[in-house]
Amino acid sequence: YILYSPDIVPSDCHLFRALQYFSVCKKFDDIDTVRSKIEKYFNEKSKKFYSDEILI
């Protein structure tokens, strides 16, 4: 279970959950496509997405 992993902090769970919703039912042809889509996804997120949910 991800919340009990010593390598994952709660803020990571927020990012992974958001990314999971983004990637549902999507097919990617290759690793470069995956990288570019993920990069685009996070670049399009507002600063509020990060500041409200990620505790540093």
Do 47 and 3 form a contact (C-beta atoms < 8 A)?
no
pTM, to two decimals:
0.53
pLDDT value, residue 31: 92
> Which pLDDT band holds residue 2 (cuts at 50, 70, 90)?
low
First to last CA, the chain: 22
Q: Residue 37: pLDDT above 90?
A: no
